[in-house]
A and B are shown apart, each in its own frame.
Chain A
Amino acid sequence: MEALKEELKNKIITTLNLEDIAIEDIADNDSLFGDGLGLDSIDALELIVILDKDYGIKLVDPKEGKTIFQSIETMAAYISANRTK
């Protein structure tokens, strides 16, 4: 699980072009949106693409994203339980 969290932090920084943020700056329980990492709605769509492309998870109900993308912790838990690749 720790390796997956690290991998997710890396992917988020690279895919979402978070130029001024390092892996160490993201705590596992930090909010990804709002006052946390400050991601926006387009970033949310990119996260859905990451789930599909890299882990074979298709979100049927986009509303699920609100819970899944709360933090690195929640993302990693969801991916571990549902990944197909």
Chain B
Amino acid sequence: MTQNKTYIQSYITIQNNEIVLNGTSVFKIEPTDFGDFSKQAYRNFEIQYPKFFKMDALSKLAFLGAELLLSPIISAEEENNIALVLANKSSSLDTDVKYQESISDKENYFPSPAVFVYTLPNICLGEISIRHQLKSENSFFIFDVLNAEFLSKYSEILLNTNKADSVLCGWVEYFNDNYKAFLCLISKEENEKYRNANINTLYNK
């Protein structure tokens, strides 16, 4: 395996009713719940993708982050070999709990297929892949806290073994209306802008 240096090309943070892209706040609203925040963000960036409204909160969070990082740089007409490597702490627990509540009354037992399909965390990777026509490597990991070293090493391996041209990696956590997404795009293309930064420093910025 040829060891080549990899570089962070761009990054995004979504938390506390704000979206920060490459260190610049691009969307911020008064405190509200995530449902309202995500809908306003969708409208603000004039995203045209009605399926967004069918997603659960975790997928909406991952989708918004990926949308703002990927849409400016990729074209749906071309094949884009961008791997997805995401992680969080709560898996899909928020949706799991909602689904469990919806089937707890045996007298009123009508499981919702639309909720059930989101009871896995890696579904958000599928949503991103469908949106951007990605047929690339993707993985979702569960950690107690952000494991920057793991994400960084995993991404490097994908890039250095030519499994991917770029890697979109990061943290997408959602539970009980508490959320944080941090995504960054990494590739072998030289980029001095974040030379002294790493996943940890940008995540904690």
Binding site for B on A (CB under 8 A): 15-20, 38, 42-43, 45-46, 49, 52-53
Contact = CB atoms under 8 A, between A and B. Distances in A.
15 contacts: A15-B114, A16-B114, A17-B53, A17-B54, A17-B114, A18-B53, A19-B39, A19-B50, A19-B53, A42-B114, A42-B117, A46-B113, A49-B112, A49-B113, A52-B110
A17 to B, nearest CB: 4
Given A46-B112, A49-B110, A52-B110, A16 B50 contact: no
Interface string B17-49: 000000000000000000000010000000000
A42 B114 CA distance: 6
Nearest to A54: B110
Nearest to A20: B50
Interface of B: 39, 50, 53-54, 110-114, 117
A52 B39 CA distance: 31
A9 B29 CA distance: 32
Nearest 7 pairs of A and B residues by beta carbon: A45-B113, A19-B53, A17-B53, A53-B110, A17-B54, A46-B114, A42-B114
Nearest to A38: B50
Contacts of B113: 42, 45-46, 49
Nearest to A50: B110
A16 B54 contact: yes
Contacts of B110: 49, 52-53
A81 to B, nearest CB: 22
A21 to B, nearest CB: 8
Contacts of A45: 113-114
Given A20-B53, A45-B114, A52-B110, 14 more contacts: A15-B114, A16-B114, A17-B54, A17-B114, A18-B50, A19-B39, A19-B50, A20-B50, A38-B50, A42-B54, A42-B117, A49-B110, A49-B111, A49-B113
B110 to A, nearest CB: 5
Nearest to B52: A19
A43 B117 CA distance: 11
Of A15, A19, A20, the most chain B CB neighbours within 10 A belong to: A19
A19 B111 CA distance: 22
A77 B153 CA distance: 59
